[in-house]
Amino acid sequence: MAKKWIASVLILALMAIAMFVSLDNKKEEPSKDASAQILEAGVKAPDFELKTLKGDTVKLSELKGKKVMLNFWATWCAPCKKEMPDMQKLHEEASEDLVILAVNIDPQLDVQGFIDENGITFPILLDEEDKVNQQYQVVSIPTSFFIDSNGVIQEKFIGAMPHDAMVQYVEDLQ
Q: Does this model's pTM top 0.95?
A: no
Q: Which residues pair with 52 in a beta bridge?
A: 125
The answer for residues whose C-beta is within 8 angstroms of residue 75's C-beta and 6 or more apart is 104, 106, 109, 110, 111, 114
Task: Give the CA-trace dihedral at 28, 31, 37, 42, to 10 degrees.
Answer: 120
- Show pLDDT as tens, one digit a residue, over the chain (174 residues): 666 666 565 555 555 555 555 454 443 443 334 455 788 889 999 999 999 999 999 999 999 999 999 999 999 999 999 999 999 999 999 989 999 999 999 999 999 999 999 999 999 999 999 999 999 999 999 999 999 999 999 999 999 999 999 999 999 998
φ and ψ of 145, to 5 deg: -115, 135
Q: What tens digit of pLDDT does each residue of 52-64 get?
A: 999 999 999 999 9
Residue 130: CB atoms within 10 Å: 12
Name the catalytic one among 80, 98, 126, 141.
80
- Reported as a single tens digit per residue, the pLDDT across 55-96 is 999 999 999 999 999 999 999 999 999 999 999 999 999 989
Give me the domains of the chain, ranges plus CATH numbers: 34-172 (3.40.30.10)
Helices (H), the chain: 2-26, 78-93, 111-118, 131-135, 163-172
CA torsion sign, 18 to 19 to 20 to 26? positive
Residue 77 a catalytic site member:
no
